Structure 1
């Protein structure tokens, strides 16, 4: 389902066109002067094309800024320098006789706009480091040594250890791997991680930290999700946390997630020096789903049961239609099927799945023209635990069938036309745990009725208020 706001996401793609074309136009002018070649028409065309895409990028950038996830002051500078670049490009295009003057100014302003754009996307200091970074990108965080102080009293010698885990270990990891998307300049999901106040506040989807429980803390649990999962952090393609960095975050939360310096007395025996150690992570921490209950208990029990191997001919037909099929675990015959990249989606595509209905555990139809008639083919998918139908064409009639699936736990209905009438039918879903209802036709009253009928179902409505653009005033605990 298309919406105007999605055009804003094209800004990072579009913005490279005017940058490259305008710089090429300036370089072409320089070449023509040095080589004494006639390049006037080519130069005019380049300035015209570059200016056109500059205005197009400004429009997309304005729509992207409306998300409220970026620092308003930095956005304003980037926005006005971008518009100034487009304006100067226009002047340069028309002022043929004295083109060198506006062309030079355009290149300078373009560089400034690009600098602030890089800061918004990748964090401050991305192009020009200020020398204050505690860690270089990609360098694993190394815990600072605890300060051990000897104190003598009437009973003899004692050791006092002073530790500041958050400042010395956790903050450097967050700065190196998380600030690019979750700091003052950019607040993905309304979440900032650059101070105690903001970490405790959480994002638009609620708290990310549960002191003493890493498994329930999204700040840690999302780090361990498979990279293919939409919730995995950092996002796929970004530099991931090392095993040591994961252990640092886990250890800090397990110990109570303190933001203060801790002082503890150490009982010393002999000449042994106390050594602070980190708890071990599970083997293969890059996919360490065993560290937290990533899979629902019902799904985990389901995956432990034997199932016949899927028909290879069916798998080949699905792959030919660009359906992504992934095994749920090594050596398992249970599958996750993703239709996101499928071309020319039609009813026959869904019917093909019926040959492997016992093996499919997770199914994603995101953004495909799936209709109620297609959903009817899922009636025999008794092992289905997760179903993504966001931005599809389904209506309430599909929910009556989906409510009968015995193992369905997660259902994403974002951007669909379901109403309160269909929502009421989900109350009969035996094992439903989470349902996503952002941008649907349901009402608060209908959602309230579902919650009363099934308090065990978590309803995600996406109606949490985003933080106001100027959140820099939330500094209550920064000095602690």
Structure 2
């Protein structure tokens, strides 16, 4: 049958995406029929053969529709051909043998088939076994060929001759000396494994793109290379991450774990440096926005964040979803908008790619006054006039204003924010008077003031009067890393709680 007209119209993809739902029908029906048959033959239950025949009929129907949907889904491409072929023929086998088992079991047809009963058990057994193998290969197509075995525990790994499970795939492990870290291997690859390779691997190559190996990543996909060496901002790999999550071209797709602003910044920096395969951090030029991100990866760099992340003011806070049109306007202006934690609708808004962001554009944030919890406006053209509008963001918890035009007057304007815990004022004109006002904030826990007009004597005095606030006036990598990761650690814990 020619399904090309389906494919051209988009119907193939629409129907095909029902395959993961339909495929559960034959699995369930066949396993129920098998249990009923075994129980009947062992004398454990009383069930007539017409009941088993009825279940087998729907197993065969479900397998048939699943095969059709699966074939239509395969037309979209991006799958390992050999694995797809195995999965396809195993699925067809499930449907074929399920129909045979039903036919010879049927009261109306089975009696008319010579030696029919001899075919029943072999056909039934083959349909059941093929269901398991087809399911395994289907999982491999979607998640990779090591999906079931990746986290095999000991002692089974040793008995099976598998390599020891030392680290979790997709996590950047603490790095003893960040300067000696190989950027692709130790930083970039773990990010890609955590967010991208589920759909872009050897088994499943969406868009004919693989991101599980360096050579394949550089090669690109069906539309050509996804990276422009030396130009992260012009690379399709980065541009797709910055699109609104509702955009069909946004990556990762809506509903999948999204890249954080920090991860996007690191990937873009790596591409800016030429996307090298084997160079270390020390061999590359590290920009100021990237320095704290790298420091946070160094073992011990984020340790200090743990103590301030235990009881956040927004822990468990739930708000209604933000206006999609308001979010779209922010992304159109070049800002990065992402959900901080699933189920809470709280947002992080970052102007890391928009240094021209100014006071007038602050109005874009106002429709999302309830949702914005983390706001990163460092190195923008913001002044006290724009900062005054931040006071309307009542759930703001983390604020970056480093290297902006804020002064003591602007800082005083946000003093009433009830949930603000972290403020970065590095490189601003804030003075002693400003931080004396700031430390009186009800929830403030961390204040970063190096390269400002704040004096050491006042810092020491305020440290005694307000011991709950950490006022940092140093440029150490550990202190930078603690600030960068403090808020993020809150939500890693929240997500862990939600997953339990």
Q: TM-score, normalised by structure 2?
A: 0.49
Q: 1:288 to 1:304 in 2, by over 3 A?
A: closer
1:59 maps onto 2:68 in alignment: yes
- In structure 2, stretches of 5+ residues that fail to align are 1-7, 106-116, 153-162, 285-292, 298-334, 341-347, 370-500
Counterpart in the other structure of 1:50: 59
Cα drift, residue 288 of structure 1: 4.4
Aligned partner of 2:241 in structure 1 is 223
Alignment partners' CA distance in 2, 1:181 and 1:70:
9
Counterparts of 1:332 and 1:285, CA distance in 2: 12
Shift of 1:71: 0.5
- Name 1:406's counterpart in structure 2: none
CA distance in 1 between counterparts of 2:209 and 2:260 reads 22
Q: How does 1:114-263 map to 2 (within 5 A)?
A: 114-129=135-150, 136=168, 140-142=171-173, 144-146=175-177, 162-242=180-260, 245-262=263-280
- Tell me, yes or no, if the aligned pair for 2:140 and 2:147 is still in contact at 8 Å: yes
Maintained 8 Å contact 2:183/2:281: no
When you count strand as a share of all residues, which structure comes out higher?
A: 1
CA contact (8 A) 2:142 2:204 kept: yes
Structure 1 Cα separation of the partners of residues 366 and 223 of structure 2? 32
Does the alignment pair 1:292 with 2:328? no
The two structures, once aligned, show a CA RMSD in angstroms of 3.9
Task: Give the whole-Å Cα distance in 1 for the aligned partners of 2:25 and 2:52.
Answer: 16
| Cα distance per residue 1:279-314 (max 9 Å; x no partner) | 9x98978554523369xx9xx99x9497xxxxxxxx
**Displacement of 1:2 after TM fit?**
4.7
Equivalences for 1:253-402 in 2 at 5 Å?
253-262=271-280, 264=282, 277=295, 287-288=348-349, 290-292=351-353, 304=361, 329-331=365-367
Residues 1:16 and 2:7 aligned together = no
Separation of aligned partners in 2, 1:27 and 1:292: 59
**Secondary structure of 1:223's aligned partner:** helix
* Cα distance change of structure 1 residues 37 and 25 upon mapping to structure 2, 3 Å threshold: same
Cα distance in 2 between the residues matched to 1:284 and 1:58: 37
Match of 1:30 among 35, 38, 41: 38
Q: Is structure 2 residue 127 aligned with structure 1 residue 106?
A: yes
Shift of the 121–293 alpha-carbon distance from structure 1 to 2, 3 Å rule, reads farther
Matched-pair contact (CA < 8 Å) for 2:77–2:207: no
Change (3 A) 1:283 1:3: closer
Give the C-alpha shift of residue 14 in structure 1: 1.9
Looking at structure 1, the residues matched to 339 and 123 of structure 2 have their Cα atoms a distance apart, in angstroms, of 55
CA deviations on 1:244-296 (whole Å, 9 max, x unpaired) are 54454244224331112348589xxxxxxxx95379x98978554523369xx
Q: Which has the higher helix share?
A: 2
Q: Is the 8 A contact 1:140 1:242 kept in 2?
A: no
Q: Mind listing any 5+ residue stretches in structure 1 that lack a counterpart?
A: 148-160, 267-274, 307-327, 334-480
Contact 2:219 2:225 in 1 (8 A): yes
- Give the match's secondary structure for 2:241: coil
Quote the offset at 1:75 in angstroms: 0.3
CA contact (8 A) 2:53 2:102 kept: yes
Q: Tell me the CA shift for residue 114 of structure 1.
A: 0.3
SS at match of 2:100: helix
Rounded Cα–Cα distance in structure 2 between residues aligned with 1:264 and 1:136: 26
SS at match of 1:68: coil
On the 8 A contact 1:162/1:261 being kept in 2, the answer is: no
Partners of 2:94 and 2:337 in 1: CA distance: 52
Q: For residues 417-461 of structure 1, what are the alpha-carbon distances to aligned partners after superposition, in whole Å with 9 as ceiling and x for unaligned? A: xxxxxxxxxxxxxxxxxxxxxxxxxxxxxxxxxxxxxxxxxxxxx
Deviations 1:306-362 (A, max 9, x none): 7xxxxxxxxxxxxxxxxxxxxx744279xxxxxxxxxxxxxxxxxxxxxxxxxxxxx
SS of the residue 2:95 aligns to: helix
Cross-structure match for 1:86: 95
**What CA distance in whole angstroms lies between the structure 2 residues aligned with 1:285 and 1:48?**
46
TM-score (norm 1): 0.51
2:144 touches 2:202 (CA, 8 Å); kept in 1? no
Mark the CA change 1:285 to 1:92 in structure 2 (over 3 Å): closer, same or farther.
closer
Distance 1:141 1:265, change over 3 A: closer
Shift of the alpha carbon at 1:58?
1.5
Between 1:88-97 and 1:62-71, the stretch displaced more is 88-97
Range that drifts further, 68-77 or 17-26: 17-26
Cα offsets for 1:138-165 (capped at 9, x unmatched):
x642353448xxxxxxxxxxxxx64411
CA contact (8 A) 2:171 2:190 kept: no
SS in 2 for 1:193: coil
Within 1, Cα distance between the matches of 2:166 and 2:195?
A: 12
Greater CA deviation, 6-15 or 283-292? Answer: 283-292
Task: State the aligned residue count.
Answer: 286
Q: Say if 1:261 and 1:208 are closer, same or farther in 2 by CA, change over 3 A.
A: same
Q: Aligned residue for 1:154?
A: none
